[in-house]
Structure 1
């Protein structure tokens, strides 16, 4: 496992913000932070990820598939792995 020290954590609660526009806002926030803080690292903690809608998962999946900066790590936390978008599960490390 690679170590990753970060300067910023974005705590995102999906139980309260689970629609497409919420994920688009999160992605915009990540892009803005990375643009303003060249070289700094950010961790996005996406809590209760199983609440995301299928479209929101698709938007997140498409963003993660893009050649994004190696300075960002997404951590999805869920109590129900069966509700996570299957293509996303195939793409990420999980237990």
Structure 2
């Protein structure tokens, strides 16, 4: 589990959050495959290693947060990078 302290609080579903908890250890292979499929749909024709792309990592973060990827993409740049860096470290561990 990774806790990300946000530089700017966000409001999701009427509740304000000043930190996010990425439940990375709870992810399944199905979650990763779904994130890859969704990344492919957003990036048709992509050739490369998805796990190295911040767009894919954002999808994995969304799965770990149980939120739509659009919520992750709307985070401030600083907070977005904190999330995808945590995911990148998890994927490369």
Normalized against structure 2, the TM-score is what?
0.29
Structure with bigger helix share is: 2
Structure with the larger RCO, 1 or 2 (CA within 8 Å, 6+ apart): 1
